[in-house]
Amino acid sequence: MEINTALKKARQSRGLTQEQFVTGILSPAHYSKIERGLHEISAKDLMAILQKNKISFDEFFKQNSVAQADDENNLGDQLQTAYYNQDFNQVRKLVTEIQQLPHHDLLKIKAKLILTLLERKRKFDVKDKNIVLQRLFAGDNWLQDKFSLDLLANFGTSIFTHDDFAFFFQKIFTTYNDKMSEQTEKMQTTIATICVNYLYTCAENKFRRL
């Protein structure tokens, strides 16, 4: 289920009008376009709406996500192992196999991301943003997931808007601010890269407003 459909379902189940659901966050006119799939919603605004209406972020995505089949879990594990081993040939083989699957949208996106990482490219199709948001950043488990953090470090500025990236950065900063010395060197490098990229987006966002 798409995010706009899930929001509409959550609102209607509470018997709220669009104005009541988003008051103080978005205008009813803008939110109406989000529900109709005409506008995307930022992670910051989505989180604010869920908090305002006492909807668990984790449960919101959990109840609207499709359960992964055993073959997806198995291929996903193999893909991640090949990525961490920097086994380019195995990654390409798995990516080809995964792209031939009839469904498994998230796994296909992971495969595309991993191949792009290994090829050291930085462009990513933003039309897949909602699936990435729903499945990789639901709840707080992503804060300990190496793949999700690598994704932010390498593609965060390409996939997400400044406000979205700021939301993720704040969560990371709160989690790791006083725990950096406990992390591995690789994790410290990943978090530091996210911080540098966040500062870059801040400077770029300020420049655009001048």
Domain range annotation of the chain: 3-62, 68-121, 137-210
pLDDT at residue number 68: 45
Give the distance from CA 92 to its chain's centroid.
23
Give residue 20's pLDDT.
95
Residue 11, pLDDT score: 93
Query: How many degrees, rounded to 5, is the angle at CA 63 between CA 44 and CA 46?
Result: 10
What's the topology of domain 3-62? 434 Repressor (Amino-terminal Domain) (1.10.260)
Tokens of 74: 């198995």
Query: In the chain, which stretches have pLDDT less than 70?
Result: 1, 58-59, 61-73, 102-106, 120-131, 134-136, 138-139, 207-210
What pLDDT sits at residue 106? Answer: 67
pTM of the predicted structure, to 2 decimals: 0.56
Which residues lie below 8 Å from residue 180, measured CB to CB, with a gap of 6+? Answer: 188, 191
pLDDT at 191: 93
